[in-house]
Chain A
Amino acid sequence: MRDFVVFSVSVLFLLGLGGLVFKKNLLKKTMAFSVAQSSVVLFFVVLGYRHGSRPPLFTFASEGDLMALPSAQVMATATLILSVAVTAVLLALIVLLHRHYDTVDGEEIRRLL
């Protein structure tokens, strides 16, 4: 099961990377980056998952309960926050570029430089 998950996550990551390489539209590049970062977040979530487990919150626990690994979830959350920050700055830069060049096509912008 875990091998399948790693395979799926890798495929999602490569799809995102493919989008980054082959798309000219800066917005689509940013979306591709989001896809790639989602795969990493998903990977962390899967690493912390245990079948039949409860969320790792103290108030949910009763004796003998199995809980998901909290450290992996912390890492997933931190990755999510950082990736959102990167995406936000990328979008802000796209807005600046659109104001300058009236387009979000990367190749067009480089031609106009």
Chain B
Amino acid sequence: MDWQTHLPALIVAFPFLGAVVTPLVSLAGRGARHLWFLLSSCGTTVLALLLWRRVALKGAILYVVGGESWDLALPAGLSLPPRIVLAVDALGALIVVVGALLAFAGTLAYLPSDRGTPEEERSFVVLYLLAMSSALAMVVTSDLFNFALFFGLFSLASTSIVTFGKKKGAAVIAAFDALLFSGVLLLLILFAVALLYGRYNTVNMAALARLLRFGFVEKTVLVLFAAALLARYGALPFTSLFTEFLGEASPAAGCILISGTLVGFYALVRVVFSLYGTILGEGALGWVFVVSGLLSISFGLTFGFRSRRFPLFPGFILLAQTGHVLLGLGVALRSSCHVRAMADYGMVALKGALSLAVVSSLACALLFLATAFIRRWTSSEDLVDVGGLAKVLPKTAVSFFLASWVVAGLPPFIGYVPKLLLHQSLFAFNPLLGAVSIAASIGAAVLLARFFHGLFLGPLRVESLSQKEASLSAVLAMGGLLCLLLFLSFLPSWSLTRWIEPSVSVLLDQAGYVKIVLGGGL
């Protein structure tokens, strides 16, 4: 049997095994632990790339956990799948690859920087690999209860990572608030899953998609899911908590948190398009996304301009980008019932939203790494206390500059492609919304210029740096993300045709998703 059949399970099991074995490997010393961490993370990334390649070549992969046959979700005589089913299509594979790459960049960023006692370091590696495993598991599973469990595990692990080795109370209270809020989101999801289970006797997303009727219970479930997953994605009302939390994170921890927001986006679109899909009709959810998007943009930019704490800045920028993505999703959802509107601008909006979600995750992770390293090296968080760092940290300055360029959506880098698609579709849907989106993009560019100027230009104000320039590992982490962004920038049509368009196609094909998992159709 082809071993790559097991890739959906391996992508979860490999980092999980890495986490479980870490305490044993740690007995051999610090170097062995670091090597093991690097191997586990690198191995997971390689598996993610193999998974993406296989999906691109052979189509979606189905994997039935514990079944007699790996690809038979519905044995003869049964109407509902009795086992946990992992399903990876083009969209899932894309999110798995980007999530794994972000986590790998975090691993590289960890190696030189997060020093603590051996026990603290061991715990960090275990928690990091657990967070990585659970983030990827949330993407590959088609079982909603399974998703909820991994959601909880990710929240626990990521919160614990942020408090790792922190001596400041601010980090602890930020972690407490974030975990409590994540706990409530978990309960909302579990409540929704229980309602669906009580009604349909299954928690498999494809089986539910086939059975779902849009009654009161289903509307309640949709509200619960939308609230929880919008918050997981970092949109309002999770805003202030998330940015504060991200601002306290170490360089490595921040990468896995950003990877988690991307997974939140994936879960949101999966529930909306693959679970509910056509039965949503022209409901109010599209407008909810649009309003949430507008609020996210305005909060992100307003707080970004008011704040002088530069570690919070990537969080505000990410929030503003989240707002743009939600605008695109809202427009796509509003037009999904009209074939003409969908062809004119709905599809373009969805492509723009998906590509912006991916690109902004990569660029914001790069911005985050740069600011987190600067905070570590300068021991300062205030924009007023730093400046002129381009003279002493040229590589970090270049990374920050290029990431800012991408996030601002200016050509020739990849950031302009999703922004152009979004502006175009938003303008076609509603010119006012298009104008607001363009104004918000200009605002984000000005905000990026403000922080770049404050951090890197002007006279050098920092008296002593703990390091002269980024260490090799930090350069590798930032350089890797930068190379990926540059690669996508040089081949924008490749990224659109190979990454985005297949993902949008599977997202809009609800019957196709049901067929992948269960066979047959709606």
Contacts and interface: CB of A to CB of B under 8 A. Distances in A.
Interface of A: 2, 6, 13, 17, 20, 26, 29-30, 33, 36-37, 40, 43-44, 47, 71-72, 75, 78-79, 82-83, 85-86, 89-90, 93-94, 96-97, 100-101, 106, 109-110, 112-113
16 contacts: A29-B180, A75-B194, A75-B197, A82-B149, A83-B183, A83-B187, A86-B152, A86-B155, A86-B156, A86-B182, A86-B186, A90-B176, A93-B172, A96-B163, A100-B172, A109-B169
B175 A93 contact: yes
Contacts, number: 87
B153 A40 contact: no
Contacts of B187: 13, 36-37, 40, 83
Given A72-B197, A82-B152, A96-B169, 8 more contacts: A26-B176, A75-B145, A79-B190, A85-B152, A89-B179, A93-B172, A100-B172, A106-B173
A93 B145 contact: no
A43 B194 contact: yes
B191 interface: yes
B197 A93 contact: no
A85 B156 contact: yes
A101 B169 contact: yes
Interface in B151-196: 152-153, 155-156, 159-160, 163, 169-170, 172-173, 175-176, 179-180, 182-184, 186-187, 190-191, 193-194
What class of interface size applies to chain B in its complex with A? 20 to 34
Nearest to B172: A96
Contact of B169 (A33, A37, A113): A113
Contacts of B170: 113
Contacts of A72: 197
Contacts of B159: 89
A40 B191 contact: yes
B514 to A, nearest CB: 21
A29 B193 CA distance: 24
B269 to A, nearest CB: 25
A17 B184 contact: yes
B156 A100 contact: no
Contact of A40 (B169, B175, B179, B194): B194
B180 A90 contact: yes
Contacts of B153: 82
B180 A43 contact: no
Contacts of A30: 180
